[in-house]
Structure 1
Amino acid sequence: MSSPTPHEDQLPALSPTSTNASLPALSPTSTNTSSADHEQQRNTPSKRILSCILCQQRKKKCDKKTPCSNCTRLGAVCTPSKPATPRKRRRPNQELLERLSRCEELLRHCTCARLPTPESVLNRFQQSPVHSEEKKSLGQEMSSKETN
């Protein structure tokens, strides 16, 4: 099997026969959070620590300490970078969705109104001049084959 991940060595080892008594108990406040608190947590962007400006410019791995080891080694001022402003979530444009549904409905209506019946297709096929010519030439070919 693969080597343990860095977090696996921090977890308590559980045997298959262990019970829930060995697991830490959750406090009532941690399980009964209000929906307002949940909304605030979800909408708050996580504060992710970014590399300092010098490490970003030099494309070096930053240890994200203040000052970082690269800046300390170079004797430079370690300036933490500012996170990019979060983008607004795009929502579907309601007007475009309404136009799309109207166009789809018109297309369905036009397609249904123009669907030919089997009788009309047969009549058009029998009455077409191209078909009459093909019928005559086919008849001539058949009669010539019968005589041979």
Structure 2
Amino acid sequence: MIQSEVVGSADPSGGAPSPMADALIASLGEGEEAIDRLLAAMVAIKRQQRSLDDQLNALLDQLQQLHERGEVDTAFHFNDTAFSWSPGRQLFSYPEPVLAMEQQLKLARKVAEGDGTATRRHGRSFWTIKLPGA
């Protein structure tokens, strides 16, 4: 029902909702039933997203194996889509004196938060949706 109505409703460019999504939102109406339909649509999309993420990760693992065997380059195009491999973010393990300084900084931050000299502000608000078993 809602799942099939919602498939493909997001704008692939990451911008505003598509006309299909706008139509779904308009069809929700008002009141508690509309809230239930809204939440059901969101859960359906979240389940699809999880399934697609799982499928994509399995395919990315296969692509990584191809790369490790030298069968694909680190950058290439396929059907007007660019693919590029990244070695990942470089991480560091710091020596004890640096870790001690980091602890001092954390303590200084807590003190500033406690005495009011640090300015509090909020970042962009957001919703978190966790499916059962997630």
Q: Which has the larger radius of gyration?
A: 1
- Between 1 and 2, higher relative CO (CA 8 Å, sep ≥ 6) is seen in 2
TM over 0.5: no
Q: TM-score scaled to structure 2, two decimals?
A: 0.23
Structure in which a larger fraction of residues adopt strand:
2
Give TM-score scaled by structure 1 length: 0.21
